[in-house]
């Protein structure tokens, strides 16, 4: 029994593009694991709180950089 890998690759290359499922549009994909690093007092916690509130409520954040989305 032979496996035809060439057809698998062609199927992948010509498959319809599926838009990603964003947790925060343009920043974080749903189900991803991310690390935010920086100096103490740089605003890491404030950024995380702002993005979490935007994702939970569906409101825009960061002066419109993060657009409004369906609440999660």
| 46 touches 1 (CB < 8 A) | no
β-sheet bridge partners, residue 22:
29
Can you give the pLDDT at residue 70? 72
Can you give the pLDDT at residue 5? 64
Neighbours of 58 (CB within 10 A): 13
Can you give the pLDDT at residue 11? 83
Residue 2 has pLDDT above 60, yes or no: no
Entry pTM: 0.61
Determine the Cα–Cα distance for residues 42 and 45; give it in Å rounded to an integer: 9
pLDDT digits (tens, 9 = 90+) for 6-63: 678 888 888 888 888 887 777 788 888 989 999 999 999 999 898 888 878 888 888 8
């Amino acid at each position: 029994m032979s496996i035809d890998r060439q057809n698998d690759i062609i199927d992948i290359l010509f498959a319809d593009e599926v838009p990603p499922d964003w947790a925060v549009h343009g920043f974080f994909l749903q189900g991803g694991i991310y690390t935010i690093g920086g100096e103490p007092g740089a605003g890491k916690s404030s950024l995380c709180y702002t993005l979490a509130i935007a994702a939970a409520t569906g409101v825009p954040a960061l002066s419109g950089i993060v657009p409004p989305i369906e609440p999660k």
